[in-house]
Amino acid sequence: MSPASRGTSVAVEFSRLAEAQGSRARAGRITTAHGVIETPVFMPVGTRGAVRTQTREQLAALGPTIILGNTFHLMLRPGREHFERVGGLHGWMKWPGALLTDSGGFQVFSLSRNATVSEDGVEFRSTADGRRIMLTPESSIGMQRAIGSDIMMVFDHLIDSTSPLALAEEAMHRTHRWAARSLAAREGSPNALFAIVQGACFPALRRVSADVLTTMQGFDGYAIGGLAVGETRAEREDTTELVTELLPRDKPRYLMGVGTPLDLIEGVHRGVDMFDCVLPTAWAQQGLAFTSRGRIDLVRGVHAAAEVPLDPACPCEACATYSRSYLHHLVKCKEPLGWQLLSFHNLRFYLSLMAELRAAIRDGSFASIYPRRRDELGRSDVDNPPGKVPRAKPRAATTRGAFSLVVSPQGFTSVQHVASGEVMHSVNDPDVEARRVYVDQSRAIADALAGRRDITVWDVGLGAAHNALALIRAVEAAPPSSRVRIVSFEHDLDALRLGLDHQKPFIHLRHEGPHRLLRGEAYERGGLRWELVHGDALTGMTRAPRPDVVFWDPFSAKTDTRMWTLDAFRALFALLDRPTEVITYSASTAIRSALLAAGFYVARGVPSGPKEETTIALAHPTADDLAHHAILGADWLARRARSTAKLGADIPADARDALEQVIASHPQWGRP
């Protein structure tokens, strides 16, 4: 199908006003039939013809210049005929500003059941009344024309951003064919039409997609689609950076469905002009607020008696009139007023952030405020750091030695190191984290569970025995023919004893093994043996049988500094005499650098809770190991170069240059 040619009418005009130095951030202006949009801009989402909970007056006070409507939802209810009758959405919802509609592609793939894709379009079952509906490029554009949106989007084939190459390629080519059909279907419309660059997280596909779509004549702007659906932050940022470079400079660029305030500043820095996301109102419903004091979770009990403003720097009604304790109460009771106030506050936070960024780009200060604002926007509650506020019900003996019990805001009981305030597995269900991060990621454990080989596992930092017991349960669920030997290292057994005193929340400890270990015995059943080395781990490791897998789970570098130093990793590496996986929850640049400098190959591990990545270090890896794990590559090295904490504080200044050499010449960068 050849791209449609179009007449000379210009649906929207885009002018660039300023470009930042030392950044791709740019300020511009889009002129539409419903007003002027200063960019970069955040577009509040009005899914069903309403920005959730916000009245017309509140919207007017917030002052967005453009909002979003969702074609998919509005097509199901009230339907295309309705909009043709009332003359579009603007007048019906009393919205005087500009309107952008998505194509329905995202919802049809993410919300509808039994969607079947064909070259013609997507057939799915309506979530409103169960009827079968066919959505095609032509019917999507027809619906968007009926809505009367100022900026329409092409109908695209959305897939999960972590999809395999073949699927991503097929969906991308279909998106291109559908883009050409969307272009033909908009013929004669005064509304603008944006194309959507697809290609998942494959740079080569993104290049092809940008090339094909920018070669078609007639698009008024370009969107980056298919992100914020499963990829890591790093992949999202890298893909955004790649695509903005490929798009024409004289057309607006729109990063669809992204994201947090931190995502916004990262997108602006990479040359994005337009953003939309449901987070400000969706998170408000859950009691979460973005503030100048970090991200605040008002559900937490710590706010129950806090007679202070939500955000002292914000003049909105929620902050100027009410206290955190009242907002906490509304959220806990699920009073709609709480949702409404927090939505208003969050939308205001987003819109004023964008105004600040626009002003900074125009006055030349963006590059200097970017690093500081990026750090600030990534913070969580600075006044009441999550995980550090004991909420345990006062019961006898919730403290033992250096440890006490705490209940996390998410409701999981954990062991806290009192002196440092640090909590073991503070934010996730500890058993889920133990299984996902430490057990499920290991190739050697998978081999052992399948009966293919015998293994030895070092469990460094036994703590409350979450990791060891996650592995033991995996073995005991289906005892393999292989032998599994687990050696746990711990110098302070009070955390385990405390957990055993409170087995109600620590269900995982209802097992014979921990009791045997505390009696100084090993736990043995079939081919499984679990033993404890009590004392300093770095010393104890020298006497233990050599491992195939190491769970590296001491307290963090702040609390247990010595275990995260280059010296510790060198000592560990020197003990490893065969292919060994070292799995750890940390993904810090300094710690990964120390692992590289110690001789390990370093790979990305799965996300865990708020951590977008964990880490797997490999000693003496086989070619299969390297192919199996997500070995860090040039993209990570490039991000490392921008990091302000490349090496740990334990590295003396005069050793840093030499270590940089070691890391730069690590064989893992030379891989194809």
Tell whether residue 62 is a contact of Zn ion (CB under 5 A). Answer: no
Least CB distance to Zn ion at residue 319 (A): 3
Task: List CB contacts of 395: < 8 A, sequence separation 6 or more.
Answer: none
Helix locations, 119-258, DSSP H = 137-147, 165-185, 203-215, 233-246
The one catalytic residue among 156, 276, 553, 625 = 276
397, 176, 375, 171: which is closest to 261 by C-alpha?
Answer: 375
Least CB distance to Zn ion at residue 351 (A): 12
CB atoms within 10 A of CB 620: 14
* Of residues 222 and 350, the one with the C-beta less far from Zn ion: 350
Tell whether residue 319 is a contact of Zn ion (CB under 5 A). Answer: yes
Least CB distance to Zn ion at residue 293 (A): 11
* Of residues 227 and 314, the one with the C-beta less far from Zn ion: 314
The rounded distance, in Å, linking the Cα atoms of 458 and 584 is: 12
* Of residues 288 and 475, the one with the C-beta less far from Zn ion: 288
Least CB distance to Zn ion at residue 289 (A): 8
Q: Which residue has the tokens 């979770």?
A: 297
141, 229, 226: which is closest to 186 by C-alpha?
Answer: 141
Of residues 298, 316, 470, 603, which one binds Zn ion by CB under 5 A?
316
Least CB distance to Zn ion at residue 308 (A): 13
Q: Which stretch binds Zn ion (CB under 5 A): 88-96, 310-318, 382-390, 593-601?
A: 310-318
Annotation says 102 is catalytic: yes
DSSP-derived 3-state class of residue 328: helix
Least CB distance to Zn ion at residue 296 (A): 11
367-396 positions binding Zn ion, by CB under 5 A: none
From start to end of 242-313, where are the E strands? 253-255, 274-277, 288-291, 294-297
Task: List CB contacts of 500: < 8 A, sequence separation 6 or more.
Answer: 506, 509, 514, 515, 518
Task: List CB contacts of 480: < 8 A, sequence separation 6 or more.
Answer: 448, 449, 450, 451, 527
The rounded distance, in Å, linking the Cα atoms of 120 and 133 is: 13
Q: Which stretch binds Zn ion (CB under 5 A): 304-312, 421-429, 630-638, 660-668?
A: 304-312
Least CB distance to Zn ion at residue 586 (A): 34
* Of residues 225 and 280, the one with the C-beta less far from Zn ion: 280
206-265 positions binding Zn ion, by CB under 5 A: none
Beta-strand relationship, 274-277 and 41-46: parallel
* Of residues 324 and 345, the one with the C-beta less far from Zn ion: 345
Task: List CB contacts of 378: < 8 A, sequence separation 6 or more.
Answer: 262
* Of residues 266 and 311, the one with the C-beta less far from Zn ion: 311
* Of residues 61 and 115, the one with the C-beta less far from Zn ion: 61
Least CB distance to Zn ion at residue 263 (A): 20
403-432 positions binding Zn ion, by CB under 5 A: none
Q: Which stretch binds Zn ion (CB under 5 A): 141-149, 229-237, 312-320, 636-644?
A: 312-320
CA distances 271 to 31, 213, 414, Å, are: 19, 18, 43
Q: Which stretch binds Zn ion (CB under 5 A): 199-207, 266-274, 314-322, 576-584?
A: 314-322
Q: Which stretch binds Zn ion (CB under 5 A): 39-47, 56-64, 341-349, 489-497?
A: 341-349
Kindly determine how many residues on this chain lie close enough to bind Zn ion according to the rule CB under 5 A: 6
CB atoms within 10 A of CB 497: 16
380, 421, 392, 391: which is closest to 611 by C-alpha?
Answer: 380
Q: Which stretch binds Zn ion (CB under 5 A): 208-216, 306-314, 358-366, 590-598?
A: 306-314
- φ, ψ for residue 80, nearest 5 deg: -60, -40
Of residues 27, 66, 210, 314, which one binds Zn ion by CB under 5 A?
314
DSSP-derived 3-state class of residue 108: helix
Task: List CB contacts of 490: < 8 A, sequence separation 6 or more.
Answer: 461, 462, 463, 496, 532, 533, 534, 537
Least CB distance to Zn ion at residue 309 (A): 8
* Of residues 242 and 351, the one with the C-beta less far from Zn ion: 351
Burial of 531 (0-12, 13-18, 19+ CB in 10 A): middle
Q: Which stretch binds Zn ion (CB under 5 A): 242-250, 327-335, 339-347, 422-430?
A: 339-347
Tell whether residue 293 is a contact of Zn ion (CB under 5 A). Answer: no
* Of residues 314 and 663, the one with the C-beta less far from Zn ion: 314
345-364 positions binding Zn ion, by CB under 5 A: 345
Least CB distance to Zn ion at residue 33 (A): 32
CA distances 177 to 158, 180, 209, 418, Å, are: 14, 5, 11, 61
How many Cα atoms occupy the beta-carbon half-sphere of 176 within 13 Å? 21
Answer whether 152's CB lies under 8 Å from 193's CB. Answer: yes
* Of residues 312 and 401, the one with the C-beta less far from Zn ion: 312
Which residues form the catalytic set? 102, 276
Judged by the rule CB under 5 A, the positions of this chain that interact with Zn ion are: 311, 314, 316, 318-319, 345
